[in-house]
Amino acid sequence: MTAAIRIADLHKSFQGVEVLKGVDLEVGQGEIFALLGSNGAGKTTTIKICATLLKPDSGQVRVCGHDPLRQADAVRAAISLTGQFAAVDELLTGRENLVLIARLRGLDDPAGLAARLLARFGLTEAADRRAATYSGGMTRRLDIAMGLIGDPDVVFLDEPTTGLDPEARLEVWSTVRELAEAGTTVLLTTQYLDEAEQLADRIAILHQGKIIATGTMPELKRLFPPARVEYVEKEPSLEDIFLAITSGPSAKGRDPLASPTTPQPAPSPASPIKEARR
């Protein structure tokens, strides 16, 4: 595996409290890698160190072969970071936000690039409204679109779907999959275990300052003894019902102000499905 991100024995303390106590991690090129951990585990701290925003106390970090401490410019040119809290400028329109980043990156044709990203993220109709008027999902999509400007080799997504509705989460997931298919490496953090299970090629669990488990889902499952399998009737979950009722035309471009939708008749309730319970 060619490593896009390599972290060895990383330590970081804040005001005498050791948050990272020797983190080891390797993310392969083109991989979707999920970093899991409870609140305060140090996920954002790890990402910020990789992205040159924080200095480690000790340890070795390489991002695309570059050291974030000594080769910060090379790292910044190779990555993008979509932080836990959106970096969108709410006084600007969606289009202006994208053009601004393209200019900062020194790219040709910022207007054309912005138009393509707006279309790809279903934001064309809302492009010329101030971002302050966007819904949470639209803001998150714009934030991720801003992160893709300049075709970074490595994309850090810190809790990319927190606060999104189930449909908007699925949209973000498909965006992440598209990125990885195009060869981009994605390191994401999430509080949603199902998100890691659905999306990630490999998963690491950060706990009490160290990575306590790493692997693919099948590898992690092998850490636990298999449970007895029995068959039960499963009622549809609220998420199944919500998605069945609200799915219709692609959620991309959903913008209640720009294109009011006609209420759709609710589908008949999903029949209970049989599934194996472990």
Ligand X SMILES: Nc1ncnc2c1ncn2[C@@H]1O[C@H](COP(=O)(O)OP(=O)(O)OP(=O)(O)O)[C@@H](O)[C@H]1O
Buried b / exposed e over 98-135, threshold 16 CB at 10 Å, is bbbbbeeeeeeebeebbbebbeebbbbebbebebeebb
**Which of ligand X, Mg ion, none has residue 40 at its interface (CB below 5 to 8 Å by kind)?**
ligand X
Q: Smallest distance, Å, CB 2 to ligand X?
A: 27
String marking each residue 122-161 x if it binds ligand X according to CB under 6 A: ----------------------------------------
The site partner of 4 among ligand X, Mg ion, none (C-beta below 5 to 8 Å per kind) is none
Minimum CB distance to Mg ion smaller for 43 or for 62: 43
| Interface segment toward ligand X; rule CB under 6 A; list 13-21, 62-70, 102-110, 137-145 | 13-21
Does the footprint of ligand X cover residue 110 (CB under 6 A)? no
Question: In the stretch 57-86, what mask flags binding to Mg ion with x, by CB under 5 A?
Answer: ---------------------------x--
| 44 part of the interface to Mg ion, by CB under 5 A | yes
| Least distance from ligand X to the Cβ atom of residue 39, Å | 4
190 forms part of the interface with ligand X (CB under 6 A): no
Residue 208, Cα to own-chain centre: how many angstroms? 23
56 CB burial (10 A radius; 0-12, 13-18, 19+): buried
Cβ distance to Mg ion smaller for residue 127 or 155? 155
Q: Rounded distance, CA 278 to CA 266, Å?
A: 32
Is 84 a binding residue for ligand X by CB under 6 A? The answer is yes
Binding partner at 184 among ligand X, Mg ion, none, C-beta below 5 to 8 Å by kind: none
16 sits near ligand X (criterion: CB under 6 A): no
Binding test (CB under 6 A) with ligand X, winner from 8, 14, 194, 237:
14
Cβ-closest residue to Mg ion? 44
Residue closer to ligand X (CB basis): 23 or 155: 23
Q: 3-state DSSP call for residue 117?
A: helix
Among 7, 34, 36, 45, binds ligand X (CB under 6 A): 45
Q: How many of the other CB atoms lie within 10 Å of CB of 265?
A: 6
232 forms bridges with which residues in the sheet? 275
Q: Using CA atoms, how far apart are residues 32 and 107, in angstroms rounded to an integer? A: 27
The total number of residues shown for the chain amounts to 278
User: Which class for 28: exposed (0-12), middle (13-18), buried (19 or more C-beta within 10 A)?
Assistant: middle
What's the rounded Cα separation, in Å, for the pair 62 and 117? Answer: 29
Q: Up-side HSE of residue 131: CA atoms within 13 Å toward CB?
A: 23
Cβ-contact 102, 147 below 8 angstroms: no
Binding site for ligand X (CB under 6 A): 14-15, 19, 37, 39-45, 84
